[in-house]
Amino acid sequence: MLANYAPLIVDGLADAALIFFVAVGLTLVFSVLHILNVAHGSFYSLGAYLSVVIGSFVAGRGWPVLSFFALVISPFLVTVALGPLIERTLLRWTYGRPEALQILVTFGLFLILEDAQKLIFGVQPYSQDTPMLLLGTSQIAGIVYLNYQLLLIGLAIVVAIGLRLLLKRTGIGKLIVAVVADQEIARALGIDASRVFMLAFSLGVFLAALGGALASPTVGVSPGLGAETIVLAFAVAAIGGLGQIEGAALAAILVGLARSAAIYFMPEFQPVVPYLVMLAVLLVRPYGLFGSIGLRRV
Amino acid sequence: MMPILSVRDLHVNFGGVKPADGVELDIHAGEIVAIIGPNGSGKTTFINLCTGYVNPARGSILFDGQPITNLPPRKIARRGIARAFQIPQLFTGHSLLENVMLAVAARSDIWQPMGPLDREIYREAALRILDLLALNDAADQQTATLPEGLRKLADIAIAIALKPRLLLLDEPTSGVSTAEKTPLMDTIVAMLRAERMTALFVEHDMDVVERYADRVFVWDTGRVVASGHPREVLHNPNVVERVVGVG
Amino acid sequence: MLGIAVLAALLPLAVSWLGFVFTVAIGKGLAALGVAILLRAGMISIGHALFFAIGAYAIAFLMRDAAIGELVTLFACATLITAAAGLVVGAFMVRYRGIFFAMLNLAVSMVFFTLLSKLYRLTGGTDGMRVPTPSLLGMELSRPAFEQALHLIAIAIMVGVALITDRYLKSPLGQALSAIATNEVRLEFIGVSARGVLLVAYIASAALAGLGGALSAVAIGHVVPEFSYWTLSGQLVLIAVLGGIGGVPGAFIGAFFLELVRTFAVGFAAEAWNAIIGISLLVVIFFLPEGLFGLLQRLETRMRGRKS
């Protein structure tokens, strides 16, 4: 019986993988900088668009294998171009200022990036599914799966473990944990919090753009992707508890499976399923599964 | 006569620390009671417990015979307990007068969407309270810009404006210069007597305690270790050693 | 305020299409006023287009399915419906503050957008619904005559709403809003429920946005899912911020300003309108913390100073 649901589960987990990338970036930035970046979804869509453009370019030139390269290089390009720039100029100005300003700044940034994307990449929807086609399919226990989906799930696990190792084992990770735990004390100990902020923010941008790039072969890109994504990423991060990385992972799985189930059983509800889950969770646990009231900036 | 405030077996646990470890006391209507004790003994926690800011793990608090043990601060305030804070808590976007008017309006009925806050009855009541604490000159000043010395008084004014039956003051004279302590406490106590308010104040200044308190409770490691008339308690060598410290 | 109303009434007699712009501006001004009310409590709703859309679609549904064709009745019903929605949504929302509150509002507005776009049979999907010309107090008017009348009605609504909102903001409940922003804990300690105060404000802000949406629906003659889209929410936030936290008139002045700029910029900057809004938002935040309204107040004080 379970085997009948295997495709649903794999679809759900692959969806969850993409959601995880963008949601964990959002929640990570929140936990370190105490900023919920409304423009986070725009990094996702920029990563997707760039990856499609580069991928189409190389595929058109007769090197389809390089479309994988596009998936990898796009997040780096987006991060390098925007990460430190935005953190240094816009975000730094908001530290220590009332939270309302922070919301307005990131919201303004969101508006700007959405239109910038339209101006750069146009309003036509694109798709570039070469990487997905290239990987082909596998048959496991009589059911056919897209290898690309399996790759996504594998990558998500790698990233999740990688983040955990980064935070617990590496030097820079320990700096981040220290700053998250208590900024004042961290600074007093001589930790350069500004550098940590910039790194954490850039990592968040990278994760979002990576999610977008990896998603682009499966769904393609169109204007409005950024807005859809930030709302979804927020819902997932909220379900897990803002700032909680494990929460984001669990929430991503929950939402991915829920969406997948909806597609199979009640397709009209599919777009609103994540928000119904969010509503249900927040009614019972107002700050998410692993969240707590202390995470609000006082 | 039933005590106005009755606390039994109050316990609270903050991750291994017990700021309340079996607190028991009774306060009678009209009394002015002082709480003294070393830092960290749980005096402010006690006020937090009585005003609903913190919920006890065990025990009961009765106000006028009615349990208020797990009520939120809002409901406790409505029942007639007002609190002044150690670090003044003011509405920094409003003037001093508006701060007090808000409290006056809250006492009567804030759910009036159409009349202005700045109406004659509220204004008069607020000015009267400011007058009591000699704050009239600063009435129109934004509380965000009030000098340090007046912020404490402003905080107390807001609490008084609620016309509470029980007033809890957390270190009312801290930050006040020695010369001004007496006039301040004279004013407050006179008002308390006139309005027949019961009051409890946390204090570190033993002269203030001796002069103004009807009774003193001595706090140490989360519980009441001694109580009685100031003259007895404050000259008890054990108390002096534990609480007042060396010299 | 009177000056602006007189001006607004006179202009369209000279340039008929400006009348339309002003009516739409008043619609957005009403919604932005809703955002501004919440801003008083330090809360930013970046999804207020939700209630704008509810009010607008309420008009469309009332006309199509409830056979209500009279303007005043329509406005009253739409406002009540949106207020009810505000109560339901607000009861959940007022537990939250800051960015959580902001994002939840955005999320709900986008979910509503998706529903409006997908439920084709009910809402006309992405094509939206038509809003035919309603009657006015029993009178059937030609479209041009109706538009003139609507324009005057919009001004009357603006003035009426401004007066009522001003009184509300000066009342204890309204003043308690800024107390929430400055010291919510103390407010609770004087016996006032912050959630209660916020819920009233939220319902009021929803009703305002709904009335604004209803007005726009009738003026434009058509409702589309984009009425709930984040782009409109962005404009409303900018107008509210431009108007400054001080002013009720500020929201309308900001709305007029924005609509005028948009009308003239649509020729060459339509594609980048959101970016312009975003940049303006950043500029206003960085350089004009009190918003446009504050700027006008300072100019006024300076002028008065020069006279004396």
pLDDT band at A170 (very low <50, low <70, confident <90, very high): confident
Q: Are B199 and B172 in contact (CB under 8 A)?
A: no
Q: Which residues of chain C lie closer than 8 angstroms to A102, CB-CB?
A: 99
Assign residue A243 a region (left: φ > 0; alpha: ψ between -120 and 50; beta: otherwise). Answer: left
Sign of CA dihedral B120, B125, B128, B130: negative
| Angstrom distance (rounded) from CA A94 to CA A100 | 9
Any CB–CB contact under 8 A between A242 and chain C? yes
Assess whether pLDDT exceeds 90 at residue B233. Answer: no
**Ordered domains of chain B (ranges, CATH):** 5-80+164-244 (3.40.50.300), 92-150 (no CATH)
Cα of B98 to nearest chain C Cα, Å: 9
Chain C interface includes B111 (CB < 8 A): yes
Q: Output the 3-class SS for chain C.
A: CHHHHHHHHHHHHHCHHHHHHHHHHHHHHHHHHHHHHHHHCCCCCCCCHHHHHHHHHHHHHHHHHCCCCEHHHHHHHHHHHHHHHHHHHHHHHCCCCHHHHHHHHHHHHHHHHHHHHHCHHHHCHHHCEECCCCEECCECCCHHHHHHHHHHHHHHHHHHHHHHHHHHHHCHHHHHHHHHHHHHHHHHHCCCCHHHHHHHHHHHHHHHHHHHHHHHHHHHCEECHHHHCHHHHHHHHHHHHHHCCCCHHHHHHHHHHHHHHHHHHHHHHHHHHHHHHHHHHHHHHHHCCCHHHHHHHHHHHHHHHHHC
For residue range C43-52, list pLDDT tens digits in order: 999 999 999 9
Q: For residue B127, give the H/E element and its range.
A: helix B120-132
Measured between alpha carbons, how far is C265 from C273 in angstroms, rounded to an integer? 9
Helix axes C143-170, C2-14, angle to 10 degrees: 170
User: Rounded to an integer, what distance in angstroms lies between the CA atom of residue B105 and that of residue C176?
Assistant: 10
Size of interface B-C (CB pairs under 8 A): 92
Residues B150-156, mean pLDDT to the nearest whole number: 89
Residue at C87: amino acid letter: L
A244-284, pLDDT tens digit by residue?
888 999 999 999 999 999 998 888 888 899 999 999 999 99
**pLDDT tier for residue C281 given thresholds of 50, 70 and 90:** confident
Give the integer Cα–Cα distance in Å for A51 and A45: 10
Q: Do A111 and C271 touch (CB under 8 A)?
A: no
Report the C-alpha gap between A110 and A115 in whole angstroms. 9
Give the domain extent around A113: 2-236
Whole-number percent of chain A with pLDDT over 70 = 97
In C222-241, the residues whose Cβ lies within 8 Å of chain B are none
Task: Please indicate whether, in this complex, the C-beta atoms of C99 and A103 are within 8 angstroms of each other.
Answer: yes
Phi/psi at A180 (nearest 5 deg)? -65, -40
Q: Is residue A115 part of a domain?
A: yes
- Picking from B73, B93, B111, the nearest residue to C181 by CB comes out as B93
CA-CA distance, A85 to A75, in Å (whole number)?
15
- In a domain, residue A271? The reply is no
Quote the pTM value.
Answer: 0.90
Least confident of A127-136, A159-168, A239-248: A127-136
**Inter-chain touch C171–B73, beta carbons under 8 Å:** no
Query: Given C98, C104, C277, which is nearest A111 (Cβ)?
Result: C277
Closest CA to B160 of B185, B197, B193: B197
What are the beta bridge partners of residue A145?
A138
Q: Which residue of B has its CA nearest to C197?
A: B111
Residues of B in contact with C191 (CB under 8 A): 74-75, 77-78, 106-107, 162
CB nearest to B77's CB, from C171, C175, C191: C191
**DSSP letters along B56-105, please?**
-SEEEEEETTEE-TT--HHHHHHHTEEEE-SS----TTSBHHHHHHHHHH
Q: Residue B142 gets which letter from DSSP?
A: B
Percent pLDDT > 90 in chain B is: 49
Q: Is the pLDDT of residue C268 over 80?
A: no
Q: Which chain A residues touch C274 with a CB distance below 8 Å?
A: 111-112, 114-115
Interatomic CA distance for residues B74 and A162, integer angstroms: 47
Tokens standing for residue C10: 């006179």
Predicted pLDDT at B6: 93
Contact call for C114 and A272, based on CB within 8 A: yes
Burial of C303 (0-12, 13-18, 19+ CB in 10 A): exposed
Which is nearest to B120 in space by CA: B141, B136, B142, B97? Answer: B97
Domain that residue C132 falls in: 2-307
pLDDT of amino acid B247: 36
Cβ–Cβ gap C274/A283 under 8 Å: no
For residue B138, give the 3-state DSSP assignment: helix
Per the CB < 8 Å rule, is A103 touching C98? yes
Confidence grade of residue C272 (pLDDT, cut at 50, 70, 90)? confident
Tokens of C21: 């712009």
Predicted confidence band at B245 (pLDDT cuts at 50, 70, 90)? Answer: low
Size of interface A-C (CB pairs under 8 A): 113
* Chain A positions in Cβ-Cβ contact with residue C277 (cut-off 8 Å): 108, 111
CB proximity A92 to C under 8 Å:
no
Q: Number of folded domains in chain A? A: 1
Q: What angle do CA C134, C136, C142 make, to 5 degrees?
A: 65
Indicate whether A286 belongs to any domain: no
CB within 8 Å: C42 and A235:
no
pLDDT-derived band at A2 (thresholds 50, 70, 90) equals: low
Contact C172 B89 (CB under 8 A): no
* Residues of A whose CB is below 8 A from C97: 296
pLDDT value of residue B201: 93
Judging contacts by C-beta atoms under 8 Å, the chain C residues touching residue A275 are 107-108, 111
Question: With touching defined as 3+ CB pairs under 8 A, do chains B and C touch?
Answer: yes
Instruction: State the DSSP code for B145.
Output: G
Choose among B58, B102, B114: nearest CA to B77.
B102
Name which of A175-189, A213-227, C75-89 the model is least confident about.
A175-189
Whether the predicted pLDDT of C146 surpasses 90? no
B100 contacts chain C (CB < 8 A): no
Position A249 scores a pLDDT of 94
Asked if B83 has any chain C CB less than 8 Å from its own CB, the reply is yes
pLDDT band (50, 70, 90) for residue A193 = confident
CB B12 within 8 A of CB B20: yes
Residue B145 forms contact with C (CB below 8 Å): no
pLDDT in tens, C195-236: 999 999 999 999 999 999 999 999 999 999 999 999 999 999
Confidence of residue B158 (pLDDT cuts 50, 70, 90): very high
- Residue A298 above 70 pLDDT? no
Q: How near does any CA of chain C get to the CA of A255, in Å?
A: 15
**Number of folded domains that form chain C:** 1
* Chain-chain contact of B91 with C179 (C-beta, under 8 angstroms): yes
Confidence of residue B157 (pLDDT cuts 50, 70, 90): very high
Q: Is C173 on the interface with B (CB under 8 A)?
A: yes
For residue B116, list chain C residues with Cβ-Cβ distance below 8 A.
167, 170-171
Distance of residue A33 Cα from the nearest chain C Cα, in angstroms: 13
**Count of other CB atoms within 10 angstroms of residue B247:** 4
pLDDT of B112 above 90? no
Indicate whether A242 belongs to any domain: no
Higher pLDDT, A136 or B158: B158
Find the closest chain A residue to C106 by CA distance: A231
Tokens of residue B195, six digits: 């309005």
pLDDT at position C10, please? 61
Q: Beta strand B81-84 with B66-67: parallel, antiparallel or unpaired?
A: unpaired
- Least CB–CB distance from A227: residue in C110, C111, C241: C110
- From the list C172, C181, C192, the residue facing B117 with the nearest CB is C172
At C308, the pLDDT band (50, 70, 90 cuts) reads very low
Question: Which of B172-176, C28-32, C87-91 bottoms out in mean pLDDT, i.e. has the lowest?
Answer: B172-176
A26–chain C Cβ distance below 8 A for any pair = no
pLDDT for C71 beyond 50? yes
Kindly report the average pLDDT of chain A as a whole number: 87
* Half-sphere exposure in the Cβ direction for A183 (13 Å, CA): 12
Nearest residue of chain B to residue C245 (CA atoms): B93
Q: Which residues of C touch A227 (CB under 8 A)?
A: 110, 229-230
Amino acid at A178: A
**pLDDT the model gives residue B1:** 74
CA distance B77 to chain C (A): 5
Predicted-complex ipTM score? 0.91
Q: How confident is the model at residue C113 (pLDDT cuts 50, 70, 90)?
A: very high
Distance from CA of C45 to the nearest CA of B (A): 21
Query: Taking 50 as the threshold, does the pLDDT of residue C246 lie above it?
Result: no
Q: What percent of chain C has pLDDT over 90?
A: 54
The SS3 assignment for B122 reads: helix
Choose the mutation target among C95, C180, C230 for the interface with A, i.e. most A CBs under 10 Å. C230
A5-44 confidence digits (pLDDT tens): 788 888 899 999 999 999 999 999 998 888 899 999 999 9
The DSSP output letter for B14 is E
Distance CA(C129)–CA(C122), nearest Å, equals 9
Q: How many CA atoms lie within 13 A of A68 on its CB side?
A: 8
- The percent of residues in chain B predicted with pLDDT above 70, rounded, is 97
Band (pLDDT 50/70/90 cuts) for residue A296 is very low
Instruction: Over range B37-59, report the average pLDDT.
Output: 90
Residue A261 lies in a domain: no
A 112-171 near C (Cβ less than 8 A)? 112, 114-116, 118-119
Disruptive mutation site among A114, A115, A225 for chain C (greatest number of C CBs within 10 Å) = A115
Q: Give how far C191 is from chain A: nearest CA, Å.
A: 21
A102-130, pLDDT tens digit by residue? 888 999 999 999 999 999 998 888 888 87
Flag whether residue A228 sits within 8 Å of chain C, measured between CB atoms. Answer: yes
What is the phi/psi pair of residue C120, to 5°? -55, -45
B119 touches chain C (CB under 8 A): no
Q: Does B98 touch chain C (CB under 8 A)?
A: yes
- For all residues of chain B together, what is the average pLDDT? 88
The pLDDT of residue C2: 55
A114:C274 CB<8 A: yes
C144 Cβ contact partners less than 8 Å away, ≥ 6 residues apart: none
Alpha carbon distance A37, A25 (integer Å): 10
CATH number of domain containing C243? 1.10.3470
Contact C99 A36 (CB under 8 A): yes
